[in-house]
Amino acid sequence: MSKKTRPRRSGPSGTSAGRPSSTSTAGTTRAGAGPAGAGDTLGRGEADAIVQRVLSSLWGAIAAGDPLRAELETSTCMAIPHVAGQRDPAETESFVSTVLVNEASRRQTPDGAAMLRTLMSLGTPAIRKTASRALGELTGAGIYPPEWVTEIGKVTPGQAWRRYDIFGDDETVAVTFRYGETEHAVVMQVDLTGIPITTAIGVASNAASLIDAVKQVDDDEFDRAEQIDLLEARRRMEEPLARCQEESDPGLSADTVAYLPIARTRIRRLPVEPFYVPPDFTAADRAAAAASAPMKPAPIITTVPPPAKRFRKARQSASVRSWYTPEGGCHGDGRADAPVAITRSS
């Protein structure tokens, strides 16, 4: 079977772009809610049960003080509207603002403040504004989030790898990040058949295993793998992810939707291509450059009369020649004002 006709893979060999390690609960959410992207709308009771189950996992992660787990659980909660069949981003923002923010504020505890701080790190501008306002009310009442929350999102990038097929149909980009000594990885599948767009996202707590899976291409003669710098990784991930968020493809899995906020925050931690700053030359620099430049000989300028002047000179020359015959005689009576019959001599 050729590369062009075989089914498109969902992720690198040995791992699924939509199924991370046990750090995440997005897979559990999807298992309880049914297949994502199937267009099924959950009943009110079933949706409430999912919210309570996921919120229970979220509070456990916050109590454990694990930044990565808190991010994963919070982003999973933010994906509940997608699991319930909602595809409008406004519905997601409304759910987060009315359910998650209110739940955190109602607790009036440091854990609630930690949840609000996590929402500020992962949410859209509208969600950040709502969560920030609620956090301000808690801190105004003397309730502050625990210290570990200040590290949320402040990861250190490690290495980046790219796996691609020789036909240019798709590629997988994986980047590792560290919270202190703990390393995790974000992997992204990008469709290159048209305008590059993200089709799947995964987060793995075992970064080494994920990178090994991306590098393993022995089982596919059409695949290649290479290590890339972090700047190139950002170029290959940022715009496809933005298009994925804008188009809101209903075919995206619940896992991918849950990891969108985390992928967005991780890409922001990658280096940005520097802007070109022209050097600032002083008068002394310009004088030195002029002194060291080789001297060129002055150009030779040949003055050519304009066309009108050339024409007048030609007429004068023809008039003078017409006064004389080949024998040396002169036409007319020799006076300057005598009538003259002008004939050109051959």
Q: pLDDT 10s digit of each residue in the chain, 346 long? A: 444 444 444 444 334 443 333 344 333 333 334 433 334 455 556 656 777 888 888 999 999 999 999 999 999 988 888 877 777 778 878 888 888 898 899 989 999 999 999 999 998 888 999 999 999 999 999 999 999 999 999 999 999 999 999 999 999 999 999 998 899 999 999 999 999 999 999 999 999 999 999 998 877 788 999 999 999 999 999 999 998 877 766 678 888 989 999 999 999 999 987 766 667 777 787 778 777 777 666 666 666 656 665 555 555 555 545 544 555 555 544 444 445 454 444 4
Instruction: Give the span between the Cα atoms of 187 and 241, in whole angstroms.
Output: 12
The answer to the question of residue 5 being in a domain is no
Collapse the DSSP code of 266 into the 3-class scheme (helix H, G, I; strand E, B; otherwise coil) and give the result: helix
Q: Domain boundary residue among 244, 268, 292?
A: 268
The answer to the question of residue 336 being in a domain is yes
The answer to the question of residue 11 being in a domain is no
In the DSSP assignment, the letter for residue 38 is S
**182 and 257 together in one domain:** yes
Sheet holding 223-228, edge to edge: 197-204, 182-191, 170-179, 156-165, 223-228
The answer to the question of residue 286 being in a domain is no
- pTM for the model: 0.66
Please enumerate in sequence order all residues whose Cβ is within 8 A of that of 59, keeping only pairs 6 or more positions apart, or say none: 111, 115
For residue 4, what pLDDT is reported?
Answer: 43
**85 and 125 together in one domain:** yes
Residue with tokens 């007319």: 332
**111 and 142 together in one domain:** yes
Q: Which domain holds residue 65?
A: 26-151
**33 and 146 together in one domain:** yes
**64 and 170 together in one domain:** no
**319 and 207 together in one domain:** no
Please enumerate in sequence order all residues whose Cβ is within 8 A of that of 117, keeping only pairs 6 or more positions apart, or say none: 131, 135, 145, 149, 152
The answer to the question of residue 129 being in a domain is yes
Q: Where are the alpha helices (DSSP H) in the chain?
A: 26-33, 44-64, 67-78, 80-83, 89-95, 101-107, 110-122, 125-140, 207-215, 230-247, 254-268, 283-292, 307-322
- Helix 254-268 and helix 67-78, axial crossing angle in degrees, nearest 10: 130
The answer to the question of residue 317 being in a domain is yes
For residue 296, what pLDDT is reported?
Answer: 67
**145 and 37 together in one domain:** yes
For residue 241, what pLDDT is reported?
Answer: 92
Share of the chain above pLDDT 70, in %: 68
**324 and 213 together in one domain:** no
**147 and 160 together in one domain:** no
**145 and 161 together in one domain:** no
Beta-ladder partners of 223:
165
Q: How far is CA 201 from CA 186, 195, 214, in A?
A: 7, 18, 14
Collapse the DSSP code of 182 into the 3-class scheme (helix H, G, I; strand E, B; otherwise coil) and give the result: strand
Q: Per-residue DSSP letters for 90-124?
A: HHHHHHIIIIIHHHHHHH-SHHHHHHHHHHHHHS-
Instruction: Give the span between the Cα atoms of 261 and 70, in whole angstroms.
Output: 13
Query: What are 313's two structure tokens?
Result: 């000179």
Q: Domain boundary residue among 234, 268, 302?
A: 268
**147 and 35 together in one domain:** yes
- Helix 125-140 and helix 110-122, axial crossing angle in degrees, nearest 10: 160
Query: What are 134's two structure tokens?
Result: 């609620």
The answer to the question of residue 279 being in a domain is no
The answer to the question of residue 288 being in a domain is no
What domain count does the chain have? 3
**66 and 136 together in one domain:** yes
For residue 1, what pLDDT is reported?
Answer: 40
Contact 259, 203 (CB under 8 A): yes
For residue 277, what pLDDT is reported?
Answer: 64
